């Protein structure tokens, strides 16, 4: 197979990974508009946002089975179509329940982004290039998150959020065509080979170490999935009085930091042989930075906040170390399913933080209305977002308490991370 064709297969699979990032952060760019359209409060908006993570997390293991059984050409193209169709469904939805269902389908189909690209790499690239290809894939995905921030917010201001949503759906249909044209068919595996993945998954629940790691990473994911994905832009606009474009740039600085955070944290972990301690440090530093921002009550500058969020993005790449710790704690044949399992728990953090933040905002709502809708002031945002540093601190302490055998072993940290 021509080298150019192999790279084209990877590129369009990775492009879907970037595309789903744009759709994932989209609701955070138009919080008041969506709340006004469906006449909902912060709790309901948090639930709507969390439906993406229900679908994404719930499809991690089934998606791995489907990719093994049918190959990336069929699975990724079908998921790209479902994702695009679900965007059209959300665009046209007048019913609140239909919007929830559409958001769930977007999340479920988006699970093929990272896992599908992972499958393309494992099928058509040499093993010696895996680490490099995973790093490139992660960068492509994060570029989707970055360009899903300030650039998309500018388009929303000029053309309206519903028009941009419609254009996003059309873009997904075009991308599906390129995926069908470029990715080669893959002979399906036998049922026995596919079912072994499910068997390995069941055995993970008998390993308390992995559950403890999963709980720690879930608590520390708030800066990314709770703040950068949804609530950060509206918080910065209300508390710091930034325009939507500037607020979008500040939150997208987290994704920019993640582009260099993976290799950087992996280097330090390999050098000092201390992945759990470094992960603990990431949690505590994220907690300190967010606490400082919340305690500043709108008195930090644009550049200061951008720099702080860039550092937070570097620290968010603790997930690289978490995946490596998990993989090192299981037999070789269970490593792939372990990564999918930990990524599933990691994405469940989105459900936790969106639900809690939305509920807290309604709890601290002052009773003020604007245009018939609830208006959330500085106090509501500030009190609600305190859950992020508090949870990160608890997660950091949890990793500090870990005392596993891999501390005494040499780890090769591969930048295998979905995050996002």
Q: Is 416 left (phi over 0), alpha (psi -120 to 50) or beta?
A: beta
Res 119: pLDDT: 87
Cα–Cα distance, 282 to 398 (Å, whole number): 12
- ∠ CA 269-222-224, nearest 5°, is 70
More confident site: 58 or 207 = 58
Residue with tokens 């998990």: 326
Tell me the average pLDDT of the chain: 87
Cα–Cα distance, 16 to 327 (Å, whole number): 26
Tens of pLDDT, residue by residue over 16-36, are 999 999 999 899 889 889 998
Res 412: pLDDT: 42
What is the three-class DSSP state of 375? coil
Tens of pLDDT, residue by residue over 63-113, are 888 888 888 999 999 999 999 999 999 999 988 899 999 999 999 999 999
Contact 24, 114 (CB under 8 A): no
Which residues are CB-contacts of 206 (< 8 A; sequence separation ≥ 6)?
A: none
Tens of pLDDT, residue by residue over 135-193, are 788 888 888 888 777 788 889 988 999 999 999 999 999 999 999 999 998 766 555 55
Q: Which of 41-55, 122-136, 203-217, 273-287 has the lowest mean pLDDT?
A: 122-136
DSSP-assigned letters across all residues of 276-332: HHHHHHHHHHHHHHHHHHHHTTT-S-HHHHHHHHHHHHHHHTHHHHHHHHHHHTS-G
What's the pTM value of the predicted model, to 2 decimals?
Answer: 0.85
Statement: residue 302 has pLDDT above 50: yes
Q: Give the residue from 189, 184, 177, 185 showing the smallest Cα distance to 77.
A: 177
Domains of the chain and CATH, by start: 3-408 (1.20.1250.20)
Res 74: pLDDT: 94
Half-sphere exposure of 5 (CA within 13 A, CB side): 8
């Amino acid at each position: 197979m021509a080298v150019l064709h192999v790279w084209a297969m990877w590129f369009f699979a990775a492009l879907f990974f970037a595309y789903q990032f744009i759709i994932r952060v989209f609701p955070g760019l138009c919080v008041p508009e969506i709340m006004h359209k469906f006449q909902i409060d912060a709790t309901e908006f948090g639930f709507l946002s969390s439906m993406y993570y229900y679908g994404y997390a719930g499809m991690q293991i089934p998606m791995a089975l489907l990719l093994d059984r049918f190959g990336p050409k069929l699975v990724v193209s079908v998921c790209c179509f479902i994702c695009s169709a679900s965007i059209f469904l959300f665009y046209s939805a007048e019913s609140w329940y239909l919007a929830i269902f559409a958001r769930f389908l977007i999340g479920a189909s988006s699970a093929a982004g990272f896992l599908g690209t992972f499958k393309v790499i494992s099928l058509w690239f040499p093993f010696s290039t895996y680490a490099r290809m995973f790093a490139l894939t992660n960068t492509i995905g994060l570029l989707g998150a970055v360009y899903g921030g300030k650039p998309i917010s500018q388009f929303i201001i000029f053309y309206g959020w519903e028009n941009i949503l419609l254009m996003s759906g059309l873009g997904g249909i075009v991308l599906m065509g390129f995926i069908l044209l470029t990715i080669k068919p893959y002979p399906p595996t036998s049922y026995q080979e596919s079912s072994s993945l499910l068997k390995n998954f069941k055995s993970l629940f008998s390993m308390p170490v992995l559950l403890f790691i999963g709980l720690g990473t879930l608590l520390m994911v708030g800066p990314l999935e709770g703040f950068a994905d949804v609530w950060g832009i509206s918080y910065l606009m209300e508390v710091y009085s930034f325009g939507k474009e500037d607020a979008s740039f500040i939150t997208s600085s987290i994704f920019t930091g993640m582009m260099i955070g993976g290799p950087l944290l992996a280097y330090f972990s390999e050098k000092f042989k201390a992945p759990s301690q470094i992960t603990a440090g990431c949690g505590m530093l994220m907690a300190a930075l967010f606490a400082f921002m919340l305690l500043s009550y709108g008195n930090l500058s644009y550049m200061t906040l951008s720099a702080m969020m860039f550092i937070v993005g570097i620290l968010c790449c603790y997930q690289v170390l978490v995946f490596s710790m998990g993989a090192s704690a299981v037999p070789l044949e269970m490593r792939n399913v372990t990564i999918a399992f930990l990524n599933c728990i990691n994405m469940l953090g989105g459900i936790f933080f969106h639900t809690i933040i939305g509920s807290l905002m309604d709890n601290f709502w002052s009773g003020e209305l604007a245009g018939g809708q609830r208006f959330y002031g500085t106090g509501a945002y500030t009190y609600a977002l305190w859950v992020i540093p508090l949870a990160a601190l608890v997660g950091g302490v949890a990793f500090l308490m870990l005392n596993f055998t891999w501390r005494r072993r040499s780890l090769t940290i591969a930048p295998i991370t979905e995050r996002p």
